[in-house]
Structure 1
Amino acid sequence: MDKTSVERELSELREQIRYHGRKYYTEDDPEISDFDYDKLYRRLEELEAQYPELVTEDSPTRQVGGKVYNTFAEVVHEVPMESLHDSFSEEELRDFDRRVREAVDGPEYIVEPKFDGLSVALEYVDGTFTRGSTRGDGHTGEDVTENIRTIKTVPKRLESPIPFLEVRGEVYLSDSGFEKLCERQELLEEKPFKNPRNAAAGSLRQKDPKITAGRGLDIFVFNVQQIRGEEFTCHDQALERLRELGFPVPPSYFKSGDMEEILRFIREIGEKRGEYDFPIDGAVVKVNSFSQREELGSTAKFPRWAEAFKYPPEEKETTLLDIEINVGRTGVLTPTGVFEPVTLAGTTVSRATLHNQDFITEKDVRVGSRVILRKAGEIIPEVVSVVENPEGTEPFLLPEVCPSCGEPVSRHEGEAATRCTNPQCPAQLLRHLIHFAGRDAMDIDGLGPAILEQLTREGLISSPADLYTLTARQLAELERMGKKSAENLVNAIEKSKRNDLYRLVYALGIPHIGAKAAQLLCGSFPSMERVMAATVPELSEINGFGGVMAEEIVDFFSRESARELVDRLAALGVNMRAEEKEQAGSLFEGKTFVLTGTLPTLSRKAASDIIQRNGGKVTGSVSKKTSYVLAGEDPGSKLLKADSLGVPVLSEEELMAMLNG
C-alpha cells in the first residue's frame, strides 16, 4: 500500500470513529454495533503501528471516552479515569501477560466481568456521599450528583467515617429493566434506547432527577481511585473493604497468577453471561498488586496493568419457520421471525424482530430462509444475513390490513413504518388512551398511564368514549384508588367535556397533527362537523398546513370507526365547537407571526394568545408570507431563514411597544 493510500484510509477511519464515538458516548444513539466499531478502531491501531510517523495528536487512539455535555457542571478528575485496551483473542491476552512479566516479577491477576454501562466516580467525605461524576473524556466529567443519589444501591453514608474516599463504578440498567423501559417508551411514543448501555447513560444525564429515579438504574463499584485514612496493598483487598462499606462490588471475581487459569475463568464468564440480569460485553484482567501497577504505569490512554477482553458476537445458522405480525401500541406493524431454536450468548433464541418491510426486502428474508442470527450487544437477537432461499420460497410482504382490527394500513413516503391508524384498534388502545387523556390533549387530571392500564386490564374501557361512562363506584374498586380519589377523577373527566375543540382534535391522535396544527385547524373550521367535512384543497389553504397534513385529516375522518367515535363522544356531551375568543383589537389583522427561541417573560402560548387576540395568526414555519418573526434567546434556524428572506424580526419588548402604540 502506498503512503498516499495509507493517509487516505487513516483520515477516513479517524473521521468514521469520531462520528460513531460521538453517537455512542455523547448522544447515546449508536448507529453501528460495538463489534463493528471495535473493528474500525483495531484497523486504525494497526495502521498507526505500521506508520507511526502518520499518527496525529487528535487521533481517536489518543483520546478517552466522549466529550463533556454542557448540561451539567464540569468536574476535573484528580485521578484520571482511564479507558482499557481491548483484546479480541486469547492470544492477545497472553501477549498482555508476557508484557507484564517482562516489567514485574510474578504478577498475580484479578479477572472480573466487564460491565456495559456508564463509568462514574463517587466521592465521600467523612463517610458521607458528596459528589458523583461521569468519566467524560477521562480528565473532565459531568457533575451528576443528584441523579446518582436516586440510585438505591449507592450508599449515601458508609459504615466507617473514612476522611476521604473516591471510588469508580459502572452505572447500568438491568436487562429486565431495559425491556420494561422500552415498553414504556413505545407506549408514550418516545424514541426507544438501542441498548441497556445507552439507556443507562441517557437516564443518568436527565435534567430532572425524578426521571432518573424512575428508570431503575443500578451500579457496581470496582475500583478505589483515592483514599485517605486507610491503605490497601492490592485490588482484592480493596474490593473486600468496599463490600464491607456497603458498596455493590462485582458478584464474582477470580484471582490467579496463571494466565491459563485466568483464560478458563474468562471462558466461564462468557458461557454464563446469558444468565446474568446485567449487561456485560467482556471480562477485565487486572494486576492485583498496587505497587506493581505503579511500576507498570500507563500509556497516553491506557493503563499497562489492565486489559479488557471483548467477547466476539456469537453467530449461528438456523431456519426461519414463520413470520408473525404484531401490532404495537403505536399502531406500527412489526414482523417477528420465528426460528428453529439456537443457543446464543448462553440463552436459547427462537424469535427476532425483522423490523419492517424495507429490512425484509433488502435482505430478501422469506419463510424457509436459512439465516445467520446473532445477539446485538449481547442482548437483542438479530438477523445478520440470509444464507440461502430454498426453492419454492416466496418474497414476503406485510399485510394490507391490520391483523388486529381489519382496517387498512398505511405507510407514508419517507417512513419505514407501516401502521394502523384506526383510533379504536384494540392492539393500540392503551397508547391511544394515554394520548387522549394527556396534558396537551383532553388534560384529564389524575388519569395517568397506571390507572388507564388498570381500567383496560379490568375491561372497564375499550374506547376513549368509555371514559365518559365511568362512575366513582367503579373507580373506587381499583387498586390504590379511594372513594375521594375516584370522585375527583370523575369530576376531572366531566370537566374535560368543556375543553376547546382543538384539544379533542389533537386527542384523537391523527397522524402528523400536533396540538399547534389542531389549533390552526379549528381556527379555520370552528366545529367538528366542519372539520370532518373539509376537503384536501380547503385544508391546504390553512397557513402552516402541508399536503400531507391535509390528506391525513381527510383520510382519518373517512374511516367509519373514527366517525363512530366522534358521534359517541358528542352524544356523551363532549364539546364539538371551538371557543370564540374575544378579540382585543385588530392591530395585527392580516399579519402572520412565527415564534422562535425563549422569550424573556412570555411563554410561547401567552405570546401566541396576545397576537391572536389582536387579529394576527401564528404559524410554525417562516416563508415569504410571514409578516414578523418574534425571537427570544437561543433562536433556531427560523431566525436564519427570516434574515435570508428579509422578514422583520421583533423582540418581546418591540412587540409590546407595538401593542402600546
Structure 2
Amino acid sequence: MATTEAEAANELMRLARQIARHNRLYHAEDAPEISDAEYDALVRRNAELEAAFPHLIRPDSPSQLVGHEIAASPLSKVAHEVRMMSLDNAFTDEEVAEFVGRVRRFLNLPAEEPVAFTAEDKIDGLSCSLRYENGRLVRAATRGDGQVGEDVTPNVACIADIPQQLQGDAPAVFEIRGEVYMEKQAFVALNAQLLAEAREKAESRGEVFDPTGVRQFANPRNAAAGSLRQKDPAITAKRPLRFWAHGWGAASALPGATQQEVMAQIARWGLPISPEMIRCATLDEMLAAYARIAAGRANLPYEIDGVVYKVDRLDWQQRLGFVAKAPRWAIARKFPAEQAETTVEAIDIQVGRTGKLTPVGRLAPVLVGGVTVTNVTLHNRDEIARLGVRMGDRVVIQRAGDVIPQVVANLTREEERPAFLFPDHCPECGSEAVAEEGEVDVRCTGGLICPAQRTERLKHFVSRGALDIDGLGEKTIDQFFALGWLESPVDIFRLRKRRDAILALEGWQDKSVDNLLKAIEARREPDAARLLFGLGIRHVGAVTARDLMKGLGDIHRLPGKAAEFAAYRSEHPREAEEKESPFNTRMSEAVKRIFEVGTDGIGTAVGHALADFFHEDHNRQVWNDLLSEVSPPLYVVETKASAVAGKTVVFTGKLETMSRDEAKAQAEMLGAKAAGSVSAKTDLVVAGPGAGTKLKKAAELGIEVIDEAAWAEIVKAAG
C-alpha cells in the first residue's frame, strides 16, 4: 500500500527526531544505543521518503545535517573554516556501480573516458581536523556538527602519530583531517586497567568489589572518543591513541592534482595514512579492493566498518561539489554485520525503569570484530518464541555496530530441549507482568513498589509536571533511597521526622533542610491531576490525568472506578481481547461511561492500565498510604475569559517555550479545546518550527494560523 503524503510527513518527523537522538548519543555522548546497521536503515528510509516527497524535506532532516551540535562540554568550541562533511553510504555492488554512473553523468563524460577512484579502509574512530600553519600544528578540533567542533589541541599533543611540525616544506595553511582511534588490543587492555583500578579503590575502602558497577568503554571507537575529549590532557596522555589521515580541509595550496598525490604528500610530511589505500581504474578494481579489505578485516589491529571510494582527480572533485552534508565525489561502502557462533548459557530477565521485562542471553564468550561478546539482547517474549531460543542452544550472533548484539539464527532449535518460559510475574517484585493492548513488550505492573523502577518513579513523582517539589532533585532522591529513607512516594511526606538525620549529611545546612521540608509541606493538598500523573501509571499522562479528574472530580473515586472497569472487562472477554480500539467501540464506550469522561483521548488502553494498576495489592497499599498523608481537594476546572473560549485549537510543529502538554493545559484554562488534528471544526492553529501537513491543511481550509509568541499574548491577555 502506497504511503500517503500525510503518512510520509508524520514518518519524516519521527525519523528526524529518532536520528537526531541517535546522532547525539553517538557523536556527542559516545554512547550509541543502536547498531550501525539499524542507524543506516533509519537514514535510508528517510532518504526514500524524501525522494518520493521532496517538498516535505524538513529543516531538521538528517539529510541536511552532519554529526550533532555540541552539547555542554568542558572543551571550548572551534569553528571550522571548511565544513567537515559526512559520507553517503552504499551497501551493495550495484549501489557502488550506480555511484560511478552518477559521477559519469554529472561530469557528462564520454563512454571511453576513464574515471579513477582511490579506495581505502574506513577506520572506525573519532573525526579530527589538524590545522598546520607554516608546517606547525596550531589547532586540533573534533568534527562536532561539521561547522563547530571542540578544541582538543593540548590533547592531540599526546598522540605520537601527530607531529607538532611537518617534515619538509608545507603550505602557509593546511588542515589535515583524519581519525583518532584505538587499536583492539589497547582497548581490551584499557578496560582491564579500569577494572583493576576500580577493584583497588574498593578494596582500599574495605568494600566488596562489584565489577558490574564499573563503567567501561563499549568499543574502541568510544574509548578513543572518551579519551580524546578530556578536559585534562594528562588523562589523554595515558591512553594509547593513534591517528591516521584520510583527507584535508582548508589549504592555501595543494601539493598535487589527485587524491592519491596529496595523500602521498601528507604521508611524507609525517602523518600515517591507510596502508590499504590504492588507486582503482575500473569498477571491477573498486569491487575487488572492497573484497580484499573485507576478507582481511578480522586480522587488522584496528576496527574498520567499510571502504571509502573517492574520485581521484581533484578538478573533477571540484566540479562535482557537495550535496547537503556529503561530497558527490565520495561514498562509503559499508560492511555487512559481523557474525559469530556461540552457545546461550543462560537467559536472564532485566527489568527497566519503565517496568519493561527484557530477556538477555548470557553467552559463552566469543570474539566478534575484535570485541569479546558475552551478552545478547533477545528483545522481548515474541522474539524468543520466533527464534526458539533456549539455554544450551548454539546460535549465530550479529554485531551490526557497537551495541549489544542480536541473535540472527538458532542452529539447534530442532534439538529436544525445554522451551524457555517467559515469566508472567516480575522477577524483581513478584507483581504480575503483562503485555498491554497492542504491544509486544511485557511490563511489570508493580510500579511504585518494584525496586527496579522505584527511584525513577520517585523522580517522576516530584518532577515539574507532577508535584514539583523544589530541593528534591535526582541526586537527593538517589541518596535518600540508598539510605532507606525513600521507598515510596508517601515517605517523602514523612521526611520531616528525619530532619536531624538529613542535617547530619554532608552538604546540608539548617536553611537547606528547612527549605526542603517547607517545599514538601506545601504539597500536602496537591492538585489531584498532578498527583495522579505523578504516580506514573502507564498511559496516564498529564493531559489524561486532567481529563480523568474533570470527569470524576474526586480522586478517591478512582480505585472503585478501576475495579468497576476490571469487572466489565472480565465479563466481556471478547471485547477485552481486541487489539485495535477503533474496532472495539463497546469497550471504549465502557471506559468513558465508567470513568465519566467525554474526551476521545481516553480509551481502552487507559482503562486497562488503571485496572491493572489497582489490581495489585501493593499498589493499592501505596495509594492508601499516600492519601493518608495528602489531601487533594475536589478537582474543579477553572477557566478564564479569553479570545479563544469555546474554540478548537491545534498545536503543530516544535514548541520552543513549553511542552505540548503545557500548551494543551493552557488551552483548557482559556476555555478552548485542544485537538490533535486539523479539520473544518478547527478554529485556530498554533504553529512552531517544522510544522508540516497540519499547517498545509490549515491553509487549504482557510483556518487562522499564529505562532507561539502570538499564542503567549493570548494567554497573557486572559491573565
Q: Quick check: TM above 0.5?
A: yes
Q: Per the alignment, do residues 480 and 628 of structure 1 end up closer, same or farther by CA in structure 2, a change over 3 Å counting?
A: same
Residue of structure 2 aligned with 1:547, choices 578, 586, 604:
604
* Bigger mean CA offset, 604-613 vs 292-301: 292-301
Residue identity opposite 2:632 in structure 1: M
Alignment of 1:587-602 (within 5 A): 591=646, 593-597=648-652
Q: Deviations over 1:113-145 (max 9, x none)?
A: 70256x5768799988799867xxxxxxx6642
Question: Match for residue 124 of structure 2?
Answer: 115
Alignment partner of 2:408 out of 362, 384, 389 = 384
Q: Name the aligned partner's letter for residue 546 of structure 1.
A: G
Partner residue of 2:431 out of 392, 407, 424: 407
Name 2:344's counterpart in structure 1.
320
Residue number in structure 1 paired with 2:550: 523
Mapping of 1:60-459 within 5 angstroms?
Answer: 67-69=63-65, 77=82, 114-115=123-124, 144-145=147-148, 148=150, 164=173, 166-169=175-178, 222=245, 223-228=247-252, 238=266, 270-271=298-299, 280-281=304-305, 313-423=337-447, 424-459=449-484
Report if aligned partners of 1:153, 1:219 keep a CA contact under 8 Å in 2: no
Aligned-residue offset at 1:527: 2.5
What is the root-mean-square deviation in Å for CA atoms of aligned residues? 6.2
Which residue pairs with 2:540 in the alignment?
A: 513
How far 1:563 sits from its partner (Å)?
Answer: 1.9
Per the TM alignment, residue 333 of structure 1 is displaced from its structure 2 partner at its CA by 0.6
Whether contact under 8 Å (1:596, 1:639) holds in the other structure is no
Q: CA deviation at 1:509?
A: 0.6
Indicate conservation of the 8 Å contact 1:86/1:307, yes or no: no
User: Quick one: distance in 2 between partners of 1:416 and 1:151?
Assistant: 49
Q: 1:576 aligns with which of 632, 639, 646?
A: 632
Q: Distance in 1 between the 2:182 and 2:503 partners?
A: 35
Q: Supply the distance in 1 between the matched residues of 2:626 and 2:479 (Cα, whole angstroms).
A: 22
Q: Tell me the residue number matched to 2:230.
A: none
Assess, with a 3 A threshold, how the Cα gap between structure 1 residues 166 and 355 changes in structure 2: closer, same or farther. same
CA distance in 1, matches of 2:665, 2:364: 60
User: Quick check: 365-374 or 297-306, which moved more?
Assistant: 297-306
Quick check: 1:114–1:308 contact (8 Å CA) kept in 2?
no
Number of residue-to-residue matches in the alignment: 535
For residues 385-424 of structure 1, what are the alpha-carbon distances to aligned partners after superposition, in whole Å with 9 as ceiling and x for unaligned? 1123244324434211111111111212332211012221
Any idea what SS the aligned residue of 1:374 has?
Answer: strand
Identity among equivalent pairs (%)? 28
Cα distance change of structure 1 residues 623 and 510 upon mapping to structure 2, 3 Å threshold:
farther
Quick check: 2:550–2:635 contact (8 Å CA) kept in 1?
Answer: no
| Residue of structure 1 in register with 2:203 after alignment | none
Counterpart contact for 2:348–2:359, Cα < 8 Å = yes
Counterparts in 2 of 1:482 and 1:525: CA distance versus 1, 3 Å: same
Q: Distance in 1 between matches of 2:82 and 2:508?
A: 49
Q: Give, in angstroms, the shift of residue 466 of structure 1.
A: 2.2
What is the CA–CA distance in structure 2 between the aligned matches of 1:431 and 1:600, rounded to whole Å?
A: 26
CA distance in 1, matches of 2:702, 2:330: 60
> How far apart are the structure 1 equivalents of 2:513 and 2:267?
52
TM-score, length of structure 2 as denominator length: 0.57
- The aligned counterpart of 1:187 is none
Tell me how far apart the structure 2 counterparts of residues 144 and 436 of structure 1 sit (CA, whole Å): 40
Q: Provide the rounded CA distance (Å) in 2 between the counterparts of 1:351 and 1:539.
A: 45
Tell me: CA distance 1:374–1:234, structure 2 relative to 1, closer, same or farther (3 Å). same
The one-letter code of the counterpart of 2:476 is I
User: For 1:24 and 1:220, how far apart are their aligned partners in 2?
Assistant: 31
In structure 2, do the counterparts of structure 1 residues 445 and 286 end up closer, same or farther at CA, with 3 Å as the change threshold? Answer: same
Report the alpha carbon displacement of residue 492 of structure 1 after superposing the two structures with TM. 3.2
CA distance in 2, matches of 1:282, 1:221: 16
Q: Structure 1 pair 339/131, CA: closer, same or farther in 2 (3 Å)?
A: closer
d(CA) in 1 for partners of 2:156 and 2:596? 56
The residue aligned with 1:562 is 619
Query: 1:569 offset after TM fit, Å?
Result: 1.9
Partner residue, 1:181? none
Give the C-alpha shift of residue 432 in structure 1. Answer: 1.2
Q: Which has the higher contact order (CA 8 A, sep 6+)?
A: 2
Cα displacement (A) at 1:354: 0.6
SS in structure 2 of the partner of residue 453 of structure 1:
helix
Match of 1:495 among 498, 522, 531: 522
- 1:552-588 residue CA offsets vs partner (Å, 9 max, x unmatched): 223322322222112222223x342255455545998
Partners of 2:133 and 2:174 within 8 A in 1: yes
Q: Classify 1:577/1:314 alpha carbon distance in 2 versus 1 (closer, same or farther; 3 Å).
A: same
Q: Which residue of 1 aligns with 2:491?
A: 466
Q: Is the 8 A contact 2:399 2:405 kept in 1?
A: yes
Which ranges in structure 1 are unaligned for 5 or more consecutive residues? 1-17, 42-57, 59-64, 89-108, 135-141, 178-193, 202-217, 244-249, 258-262
- 1:355 Cα offset (Å): 0.6
User: Residues 385 and 267 (structure 1 numbering): CA distance in 2 closer, same or farther, change over 3 Å?
Assistant: closer
Aligned partners of 1:254 and 1:265 also within 8 Å:
no
Following TM superposition, by how much is the alpha carbon of 1:36 offset from its aligned partner in structure 2, in angstroms? 12
Residue 550 of structure 1 aligns with an amino acid whose one-letter code is: G
For residues 15-41 of structure 1, what are the alpha-carbon distances to aligned partners after superposition, in whole Å with 9 as ceiling and x for unaligned?
xxx9xx999988858998649979xx9
Gap change, CA 1:196 and 1:455, over 3 Å in 2: farther
3-state SS of the aligned residue for 1:548?
helix
Deviation at 1:548, TM superposition (A): 1.7
Q: Distance in 2 between matches of 1:568 and 1:552?
A: 21
Counterpart AA for 2:391 = V
- Alpha-carbon deviation of 1:430? 2.1
What are structure 2's unaligned runs of at least 5 residues? 1-11, 24-32, 45-53, 55-60, 70-78, 94-117, 158-162, 166-170, 191-217, 226-240, 279-290, 566-590
Contact persistence 1:169–1:219 (CA under 8 A): no
Looking at structure 2, the residues matched to 620 and 483 of structure 1 have their Cα atoms a distance apart, in angstroms, of 48
Q: Which amino acid aligns with 1:431?
A: E
